[in-house]
């Protein structure tokens, strides 16, 4: 079954909801955003998560030592990169994780799809298949809440790594998105919000659709 990531967790109430519905991944945003939280707040929220829910830290061109501090303290278990982080940055992050704490840090590498240039997008995906990152993420932008043009991506086995699908997903399009892409996981934030807060009924609906 496709896994579910709910991103932009900010409140203890958000954690209660994703614990209740046994969501696979919870996203904690450290980049500048309306959903940004501090390391201290993230620590409190992460400790409230069920043990089987994986906390993911979302970063944009962050200092590597800051990420490793969060990782070493088990506040996050995966780093999701949304900036201009290149292979050198990813290698340095992974190497330092092994050196400092003797652990492998899984990385989700985001691909922002904004252009109508299909060849460039697919060439980028092909290149990132050889990346040191563990997962890819297809998105329309940093928390844009909008879908990208799904037709831009060549879906004929071009993506070799397990990937998360994000960007404007909600209960109205999630089934079609899964049918089109067959992703490893879906990644939703604003699509399960009401008045800019995580909404239990919307999360419940997404879970029911995915289970079907």
User: By percentage, how much of the chain surpasses pLDDT 90?
Assistant: 83
Partners of residue 116 on adjacent β-strands = none
Q: Which of 29-33, 35-39, 144-148, 193-197 shows the lowest mean pLDDT across its residues?
A: 144-148
Q: Which of 95, 86, 75 is nearest to 30 (CA)?
A: 75
Q: Are strands 3-6 and 163-165 parallel, antiparallel or unpaired?
A: unpaired
CA separation for the pair 132, 115 (Å, rounded): 25
pLDDT at 173: 96
Are residues 186 and 166 in contact, defined by beta-carbon separation less than 8 angstroms? yes
pLDDT tens-digit readout, 93-129: 999 999 999 999 999 999 988 766 666 888 889 999 9
Angle at 137 between CA 131 and CA 142, to 5 degrees: 120
- Kindly report, residue by residue over 48-104, the tens digit of the pLDDT: 999 999 999 999 999 999 999 999 999 999 999 999 999 999 999 999 999 999 999
Give me the pLDDT at residue 121, please.
Answer: 87
How much is the pLDDT for 158?
A: 87
Reduce the DSSP state of residue 119 to 3 states and report it.
helix
Helix axes 12-20, 39-48, angle to 10 degrees: 30
**How does 98-111 read in b/e, with b if 16+ C-beta sit within 10 Å?**
eeeeeeebbbbbbb
pLDDT band at 143 (very low <50, low <70, confident <90, very high): low
Here the tokens at position 144 are: 């844009």
Q: In this predicted model, what pLDDT tens digit does every residue of 149-160 receive, in sequence order?
A: 888 898 877 899
Task: Decide: 129 and 107 in contact? Cβ < 8 Å.
Answer: no
Percentage of the chain with pLDDT > 70? 95
CB contact at 8 A, 164 and 186: yes
pLDDT at 157: 78
- Alpha-carbon gap, residue 159 to 76, rounded angstroms: 26
CB-based burial of residue 169 (10 Å sphere; 0-12 exposed, 13-18 middle, 19+ buried)? buried
Q: What is the reported pTM?
A: 0.94
- What is the average pLDDT across 133-152? 83
Structure tokens at 141: 């932008």
* Residue 197 pLDDT: 96
Q: Please state, rounded to an integer, the average pLDDT across all residues of the chain.
A: 94
For tokens 């939703």, name the residue.
188
């Amino acid at each position: 079954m496709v896994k579910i990531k709910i991103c932009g967790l900010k409140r203890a109430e958000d954690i209660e909801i994703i614990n209740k519905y046994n969501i696979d991944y919870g996203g904690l945003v450290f980049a500048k955003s309306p959903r940004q939280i501090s390391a201290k707040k993230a620590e409190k929220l992460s400790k409230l998560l069920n043990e089987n829910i994986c906390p993911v830290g979302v970063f944009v061109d962050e200092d590597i030592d800051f990420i490793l501090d969060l990782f070493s303290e088990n506040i996050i278990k995966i780093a999701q990169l949304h900036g201009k982080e290149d292979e050198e940055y990813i290698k340095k992050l992974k190497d330092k994780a092994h050196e400092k704490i003797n652990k492998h840090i899984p990385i989700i590498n985001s691909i922002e799809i904004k252009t109508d240039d299909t060849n460039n997008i697919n060439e980028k995906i092909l290149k990132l298949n050889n990346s040191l990152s563990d997962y890819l993420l297809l998105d329309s932008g940093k928390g844009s809440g909008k879908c990208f043009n799904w037709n831009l991506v060549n879906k004929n086995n071009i993506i070799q790594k397990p990937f998360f699908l994000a960007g404007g997903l909600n209960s109205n399009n999630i089934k079609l998105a899964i049918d089109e892409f067959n992703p490893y996981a879906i990644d939703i934030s604003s699509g399960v919000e009401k008045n800019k807060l995580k909404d239990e009924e919307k999360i419940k609906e997404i879970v029911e659709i995915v289970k079907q």
